[in-house]
């Protein structure tokens, strides 16, 4: 059962949110991601930029962005720990009621914050649509792995929700311990399954809120070798496993 946090930072009549942007060797793209958040009509309370032990100049870029922007905090991790560890480090610094986890090579579209926050209400996770952005500038059609309704069937099939096009109540994220560092990829899929298992309330909006940039390398969770094994771990979660067993029984009965 999820509970509210009396220590959450709130302004009267205003929804507050922080944005965590984890980075690994993203010196050339992180500023674009940051600008897409800072220019929202309803800006974040704080943007936490986390360098995950980059080997390029990302750490220097984050320090400079922190110096130039009053809302920005830079967190520099001493070694590369992966997307989950970087997101958790940022989450530990957050104080707002809502959290967004934006990948450092993705971007929010204008109006994203308002669209997501307007739908928040008593929910714990708000999900929008996104468009794939290819290196040649081509944009895909708006999409989301969840067509609304019951989220469980969608999560039983695939990682239906991406951090870059959703927000989560901070207390809900904390209640499941954030992201599991043992997952190098599929960590976001696992995160949302664990949220659902503790009765988090999900809602989807029709607005397209983010661009998901298709990159060839240096995404924090870019690793196809372990992808199948991690997917099997997610699907073995009791909540998902029970649903799959019921579906199989129904199919066999038909």
Q: Does some domain include residue 134? A: yes
Q: Does some domain include residue 9? A: no
Total number of domains in the chain: 1
Q: Does some domain include residue 121? A: yes
CA distance 254 to 240: 21
CATH number at residue 178: 3.90.550.10
Q: Does some domain include residue 8? A: no
Structure letter (DSSP) for residue 237:
S
Predicted pLDDT at 250 = 80
Predicted model pTM: 0.91
Q: Parallel, antiparallel, or unpaired for β 98-101 and 17-23? A: parallel
Q: Does some domain include residue 3? A: no
CA distance 119 to 126: 7
**Can you give the residue range of the structural domain that contains 145?**
17-253
CA distance 151 to 148: 7
pLDDT tens digits along 34-64: 999 999 999 999 999 999 999 999 999 999 9
Question: Where does the pLDDT of residue 223 fall: very low under 50, low under 70, confident under 90, or very high at 90 and above?
Answer: low
Residue 13 has pLDDT above 70, yes or no: no
């Amino acid at each position: 059962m999820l509970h509210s946090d009396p220590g959450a930072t709130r302004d009267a009549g205003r929804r507050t949110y922080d944005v965590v942007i984890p980075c690994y060797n993203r010196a050339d793209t992180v500023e674009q991601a940051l600008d897409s958040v800072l220019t929202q009509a309803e800006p974040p309370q704080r943007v936490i930029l986390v360098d995950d032990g980059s080997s390029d100049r990302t750490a220097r870029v984050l320090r400079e962005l922190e110096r130039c922007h009053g809302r920005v905090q830079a967190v520099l991790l001493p070694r590369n720990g992966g997307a989950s560890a970087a997101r958790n480090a940022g989450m530990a610094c957050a104080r707002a009621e809502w959290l967004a986890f934006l990948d450092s090579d993705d971007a929010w579209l204008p109006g994203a914050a308002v669209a997501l926050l307007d739908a928040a209400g008593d929910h714990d996770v708000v999900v929008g649509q996104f468009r794939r952005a290819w290196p040649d500038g081509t944009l895909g059609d708006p999409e989301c792995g969840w067509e609304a309704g019951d989220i469980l069937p969608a999560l039983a099939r695939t990682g239906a929700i991406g951090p870059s096009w959703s927000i989560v109540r901070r207390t809900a994220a904390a209640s499941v311990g954030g992201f599991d560092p043992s997952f190098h990829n599929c960590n976001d899929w696992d995160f949302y399954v664990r949220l659902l298992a503790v009765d988090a309330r999900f809602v989807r909006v029709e607005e397209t809120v983010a661009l998901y940039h298709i990159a060839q390398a240096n995404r924090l969770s870019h690793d196809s070798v372990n992808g199948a094994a991690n997917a099997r771990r997610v699907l073995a979660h009791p909540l998902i496993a029970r649903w799959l067993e019921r579906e199989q029984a129904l199919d066999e009965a038909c």
